[in-house]
Structure 1
């Protein structure tokens, strides 16, 4: 399938990604194929190919149809397997790589990514994937280029964890009002940011939210209580002001412990959350 995809106009190569590329798959894991293109892939050819390969009706979404960060693609059923085609603009990935080397990153709104889409994941996909089809060797050479984790990006992601402290601090007043939605969102984002910081501290690419807490809690140097404490906060934040306030204080303590473990900088002063 990868070899056929690589013959489509605009496609430069195909990469196996996800858990199967890392050797961490379960028997029911999907097959994720990153379809790297330049300019625009020839969608009529991709759609015809998808119809011929899939055992169930499918369509191919073009660049931008799935949102600003997940370019597009298709979901195929082939026998007992689910195969996902994920379109990736190779020139955009290269621009993100340049930003990563300069210690810059973006977090964008994207359907299917409740913590947001963190731009370094583009590079992480390439770094952790397995090249399956690469007629011009461009993808292979690019993968070699991104083999090392950029120290400027590491410093930026670790330093940005000040936001976790800021978010939790600003959840204290809403907790007193019994605002379950705001407190729950604050907890999720704060812990997600800490997970990103832990990955970066250990020079690991975090691709998305799936399974990231389980990985982060087992990284060397992570306080052993991080995982259980994080799950307790997320699993039962409370439903009334007293319970929510206790949860916010526990989250404050957790953020402080992680900051101490990673010697993170103090949170900068900033405007309080709007009442």
Structure 2
């Protein structure tokens, strides 16, 4: 994980403090450090799991935060700003920025169960730029480093998510590439009118859909939209020059807007070819 000595010591102390809080079911290290993508400036992301019928109290989390924060910190209650990123805390410590993320054990379990059936969702309003995918919960479980897991909840989940659900793969590929297809159909008309607002929105939306499809094609769980191509590094099935092609689609000016749409069509064709026949258009547009 390449944690510096002072961050490792801080992580150990915080984990020990959190496991003393009534209602804390498990504590994990997540984020870029758990994923092996951290830099010296990366935050420590600590997941705090709880049972919905006996959660911890935000006041108790505030007391833990007060032990380590060196400046005013933020501590939230549950589900104050959405149904997926369901609470947490942000603080600056002597070893850098630390984030707490609450996770509802029952909600994560339900999300994993639904994924086995090919059920997923993306909550656009939850966070910028493209929302929160339910599949992120599976990604978090897959990469996290348990620090406190007395009931073995994370261990059981890790075994389940170690195999990418075939039904989830098919659903994400089908739905994401169809959404990109339908968006493309709309985009051409906006571009012809030089409608920048709607064209650019469509370009970004369709690229997001194609990235979701590529994760599923390669049976990888996305951790979110940050460093999305880095998360796909080493994947077997990617369009050649993906980063350059994606940026060429998204770098828009009013004079090149129709060219951007053509680049998007080409990228969509590349991704469809990689789907091994799992994608069929819902309608012929």
Tell me, in whole angstroms, the C-alpha distance in 1 between the residues paired with 2:182 and 2:257.
17
Ranges in structure 2 where 5+ consecutive residues have no aligned partner = 1-13
Tell me, in whole angstroms, the C-alpha distance in 1 between the residues paired with 2:65 and 2:45.
14
Aligned to 1:132: 147
TM-score by length of 2: 0.88
**Superposed displacement of residue 213, structure 1:** 2.6
**Superposed displacement of residue 167, structure 1:** 0.6
Q: How well do the aligned residues superpose, as a CA RMSD in angstroms?
A: 1.7
Deviations 1:174-194 (A, max 9, x none): 111211121111111111111
**Superposed displacement of residue 110, structure 1:** 3.7
Aligned to 1:262: 275
Aligned to 2:237: 221
Tell me, in whole angstroms, the C-alpha distance in 2 between the residues paired with 1:210 and 1:194.
15
Change (3 A) 1:145 1:250: closer
Tell me, in whole angstroms, the C-alpha distance in 2 between the residues paired with 1:70 and 1:114.
14
Does residue 165 (structure 1) correspond to residue 181 (structure 2)? The answer is yes
Ranges in structure 1 where 5+ consecutive residues have no aligned partner = none
Tell me, in whole angstroms, the C-alpha distance in 2 between the residues paired with 1:181 and 1:218.
35
**Superposed displacement of residue 11, structure 1:** 1.3
**Superposed displacement of residue 218, structure 1:** 4.9
TM-score by length of 1: 0.91
**Contact map agreement 2:29 2:145 (CA 8 A) in 1:** yes
Return 258-267 or 156-165, whichever deviates more: 258-267
Q: 1:212 aligns with which of 220, 225, 228?
A: 228
Tell me, in whole angstroms, the C-alpha distance in 2 between the residues paired with 1:146 and 1:214.
21
Does residue 71 (structure 1) correspond to residue 86 (structure 2)? The answer is yes
Aligned to 2:168: 153
Tell me, in whole angstroms, the C-alpha distance in 1 between the residues paired with 2:23 and 2:124.
27
Tell me, in whole angstroms, the C-alpha distance in 2 between the residues paired with 1:21 and 1:36.
16
Does residue 239 (structure 1) correspond to residue 267 (structure 2)? The answer is no
Tell me, in whole angstroms, the C-alpha distance in 2 between the residues paired with 1:47 and 1:89.
18
**Superposed displacement of residue 254, structure 1:** 1.4
Instruction: Give runs of aligned pairs for residues 1-275 of structure 1, distance below 5 A.
Output: 1-39=14-52, 40-160=55-175, 161-216=177-232, 218-235=234-251, 237-240=252-255, 243-263=256-276, 264-269=278-283
